[in-house]
Copies of this chain bind each other. A is one copy, B any other.
Amino acid sequence: MNEEFIKELNSVAERVNKYLDDTVRVYDNPQKIVYEAMRYSLLAGGKRIRPVLAVTAAAVLGVSEETIMPFACAIEMIHTYSLIHDDLPAMDDDDYRRGRYSCHKQFDEATAILAGDALLTMAFEVAARGAAQLNKPRCGAEAIKEIAVCAGTEGMIGGQIVDLDAETRKISEEELRYLCKCKTGALLRAPILAAAAVSDTMNTEKAKLLIEYADTIGLAFQIKDDILDVEGDEHLLGKPVGSDVKDGKTTFVTLLGIEESKRILDSLTEHALSVCDMLAKLTGDADEYDKSLKSCTFLKELAVFLLERNY
């Protein structure tokens, strides 16, 4: 693994963590516990892939990290709330997340429900503050809309509904791809759409390639997760392996076998890399070129990183 890439990845993730840490404070008032629960889940580690994607896409599209940061972190807050609610007894009923108690086990169910609601609500507060400060606040409003659509009934929440249904029966590959496109894919697309909206470059070739990239690594990400559930290391993953098979869940591995899943994963990663090369060819003047080219290289390394990860 490229050391410089890892350094850069960690560096962006650290700035994201700092922003989240500064944004979600604990206030010493009667509702203090909800702030503690929010921070417990939000600052529990995590790869910060979504905000990293937002920051990198913004760089390709000519928007500064400072400008995109509120939107990038809003998406991470939405991701975290979805994990909290997904772990609830009425949903996936998971007691552990990232190697420690899930939110409702550490606190209680009611607090976890409200902490999730609060992170979702605060995500839009943060994004709205970011939008109001843009030179083109209309673009900020468009970014909020895009994030909400990706997080909503035709995106992530839609995927969660389909996932609940899929747990009760065997589903087809087509259904599994639809599920994955909604549940995992939509919130990986959100950072790109937010960056495209903020930079007012929606529907440009660059934005389209970035979306293609996100959709590709989104599917790859899910297939890798399914493989790790079979071949992964419990300690590195921070959760028990083999739970999909135990729960009778349809995954790419149960449906297509591990070898075919790995083959598809490799081919998706190849595709993501070629999209990055196309993106690099579209870069404009020299100054922008350098920065954008560096971002394209970063996106390539990110795709390989997600392919090779063991957690």
Contacts and interface: CB of A to CB of B under 8 A. Distances in A.
Contact of A120 (B117, B129, B145, B182): B117
Given A128-B145, A157-B114, A121 B152 contact: yes
Contacts of A116: 117
Interface in A165-206: 165, 175, 178, 182
A142 to B, nearest CB: 5
A35 interface: yes
Interface string A112-141: 011011101110110111011000111011
B140 A113 contact: no
Contact of A160 (B108, B114, B140, B162): B114
Given A131-B141, A141-B141, A90 B113 contact: yes
B91 A113 contact: yes
Question: How many copies of this chain does the complex contain?
Answer: 2
B164 A110 contact: yes
Interface string A53-95: 0000000000000000000000000000100010010110000
A148 interface: yes
A194 to B, nearest CB: 12
Contacts of A137: 131, 136-138, 140-141
Contact of A30 (B110, B138, B162): B162
Interface string A197-233: 0000000000000000000000000000000000000
Contact of A31 (B108, B127, B129, B158): B158
Nearest to A38: B153
Contacts of A149: 125
B30 A175 contact: yes
A109 interface: yes
Nearest to A34: B161
A152 B91 contact: no
Contact of A34 (B30, B90, B114, B157): B157
A152 B120 CA distance: 9
Which of A81, A85, A120, A136 has most chain B Cβ within 10 Å?
Answer: A120
Interface in A275-303: none
A65 to B, nearest CB: 20
A172 to B, nearest CB: 11
A110 B90 contact: yes
B128 A158 contact: no
Contacts of A118: 152-153, 157
Nearest to A161: B31
Pairs A-B, 8 closest by C-beta atoms = A90-B109, A125-B148, A131-B141, A31-B158, A137-B138, A128-B145, A128-B144, A132-B141
6 contacts: A30-B178, A38-B153, A110-B164, A114-B160, A117-B117, A129-B141
